[in-house]
């Protein structure tokens, strides 16, 4: 009688036997091949993967028990398709809790770090599988082990980034650090504020998230919300005590950032809440907000600023007024707004003289053509601005 342990059984045959068993067509072939000495950890060419990973992802407990009985490595690394994940990660990914329980009982590493920087707990959190999160934590998973296995995002930041309030609440209830930073030195509150996720922001604030924490470039969660045009979050953070006067390392205020983001609505919110409308900001020009708004072509914001007390004739460090820059950048609406609000047209900077001459005596806001006579070193002399249209005359 031949020694059946000498029969060679490759991984592809074992894979086929598992599939037949899983489909209910042949419950015995897998066990038979394992008894023949099949390579229980072999990598099948189709997939490619190993059979324990397949059984774990399908939650086939019978097949898993047979494979483990014949020596399947519970922490074998899937070398190709699954980025070096173990079978436990396969079970977690597919929300197979019973399979995960079996694997953990057999010694699966609950803190396994795959080549793509994931752990079983990260996968469970990303999918919102709270039963599995509970299981993994109870089994010793490190709640402070970040994505990329300590090098990237924290669990709470992942929840905030995915807008998963339930997952964030779960981890907060387990005592994770509400202010723990990721590799970029961002906190969960910063991420949620930048994304505009109001409910996550409110949850984090209620759990004592640090409203005044700063990024390496000196921006707070509030400033990130302003830059990202998150109006609702901006209003919430102001109500919860955000410092609207603070500057980042580039000496930019929230008002500067709102103008930079072309957000007239946020500009108005900041003004209504006491933002300094004359405070110069920004290293490049140290310009007051009105000059910056004129440069960006924000006629509405310019009006808000002037009506809130901004000096309409204030200059940047190069002695340029808002009107000069509105003319320079051809922002006709801003020019009209500034003139109607009383901007002086007879001021000069270093080499630029601005003279406004209307062709009629009618009020400036009526439809007419006006001439802006600009003398400067380039040799261009006249700029003719019909209402809503700009044409150079050389």
What confidence tens digit (pLDDT) does each residue in 136-192 have? 999 999 887 766 555 578 899 999 999 999 999 999 999 999 999 988 899 999 999
Taking each helix axis from N to C terminus, what angle separates 97-105 and 130-138, rounded to the nearest 10 degrees? 10
The mean pLDDT of 217-223, rounded to a whole number, is: 98
In a domain, 340, yes or no: no
pLDDT digits (tens, 9 = 90+) for 257-270: 999 999 999 999 99
Let me know if residue 25 belongs to a domain: yes
- Per-residue pLDDT, averaged over 347-366, amounts to 46
pLDDT tens by residue, 234-283: 999 999 999 999 999 999 999 999 999 999 999 999 999 999 999 888 76
Report the distance separating Cα 357 and Cα 65, nearest Å: 91
2 domain residue, yes or no: yes
pLDDT surpassing 60 at residue 362: no
Q: 12-15: long-range contacts (C-beta < 8 A, 24 or more apart)?
A: 12/44, 12/45, 12/46, 13/38, 14/38, 14/39, 14/40, 14/42, 14/44, 14/51, 15/44, 15/46, 15/47, 15/51, 15/54
Q: What pLDDT is recorded for position 164?
A: 94
Residue 229 lies in a domain: no
The beta strand positions in the chain, using DSSP E, are 353-358, 369-375, 382-386, 391-393
Q: How crowded is residue 315: how many other Cβ atoms within 10 Å of its Cβ?
A: 20
- How much is the pTM? 0.79
Residue 364 within a domain = no
Domain that holds residue 82: 1-152
- In the DSSP assignment, the letter for residue 159 is H
Q: Using the predicted structure, report yes or no on whether residue 394 has a pLDDT greater than 60.
A: no
Task: Report d(CA 103, CA 249) in Å as an integer.
Answer: 50
pLDDT tens figures, 126-149: 899 999 999 999 999 988 776 655
Q: Is the per-residue pLDDT at 347 higher than 60? A: yes
CATH number of domain containing 2: 1.25.40.20
Q: Is residue 83 part of a domain?
A: yes
| Confidence bin at 47 (pLDDT 50/70/90) | low
Q: Evaluate whether residue 346 is within a structural domain.
A: no
Number of domain units in the chain: 1
Domain assignment present for residue 134? The answer is yes
């Amino acid at each position: 009688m031949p020694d059946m342990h000498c029969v060679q059984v490759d991984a592809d045959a074992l894979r086929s036997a598992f599939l037949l068993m899983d489909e209910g067509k042949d419950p015995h072939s897998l066990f038979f091949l394992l008894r023949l000495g099949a390579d229980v950890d072999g990598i099948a060419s189709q997939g490619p993967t190993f059979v324990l990973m397949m059984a774990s992802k399908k939650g086939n407990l019978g097949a898993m028990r047979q494979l483990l009985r014949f020596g399947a490595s519970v922490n074998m690394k899937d070398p190709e398709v699954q980025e070096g994940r173990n079978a436990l990660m396969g079970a977690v990914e597919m929300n197979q809790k019973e399979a995960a329980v079996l694997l953990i009982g057999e010694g699966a590493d609950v803190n396994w770090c795959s080549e793509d920087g994931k752990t079983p707990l990260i996968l469970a959190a990303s999918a919102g599988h709270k039963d599995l999160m509970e299981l993994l934590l109870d089994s010793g998973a490190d709640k402070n082990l970040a994505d990329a296995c300590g090098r990237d995002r924290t669990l709470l930041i992942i929840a905030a980034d995915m807008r998963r309030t339930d997952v964030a609440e779960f981890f907060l209830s387990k005592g994770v650090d509400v202010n723990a930073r990721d590799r970029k030195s961002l906190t969960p509150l910063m991420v949620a504020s930048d994304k505009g996720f109001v409910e996550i922001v409110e949850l984090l604030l209620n759990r004592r998230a640090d409203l005044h924490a700063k990024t390496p470039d000196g921006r707070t969660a509030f400033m990130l919300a302003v830059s990202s045009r998150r109006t609702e979050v901006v209003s919430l953070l102001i109500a919860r005590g955000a410092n609207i006067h603070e500057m980042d390392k580039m000496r930019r205020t929230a008002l500067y950032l709102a103008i930079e983001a072309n957000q007239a609505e946020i500009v108005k919110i900041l003004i209504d809440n006491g933002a300094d409308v004359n405070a110069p900001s920004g290293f490049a020009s140290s310009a007051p907000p009105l000059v910056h708004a004129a440069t960006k072509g924000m006629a509405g914001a310019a009006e808000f600023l002037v009506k809130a007390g901004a000096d309409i004739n204030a200059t940047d460090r190069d002695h340029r007024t808002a009107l000069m820059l509105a003319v320079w950048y051809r922002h006709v609406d801003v020019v009209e707004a500034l003139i109607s609000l009383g901007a002086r047209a007879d001021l000069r900077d270093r080499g630029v003289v601005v003279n406004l001459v209307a062709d009629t005596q009618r009020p400036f806001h009526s439809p007419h053509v006006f001439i802006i006579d600009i003398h400067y070193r380039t040799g261009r002399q006249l700029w003719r601005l019909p209402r809503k249209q700009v044409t150079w005359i050389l």
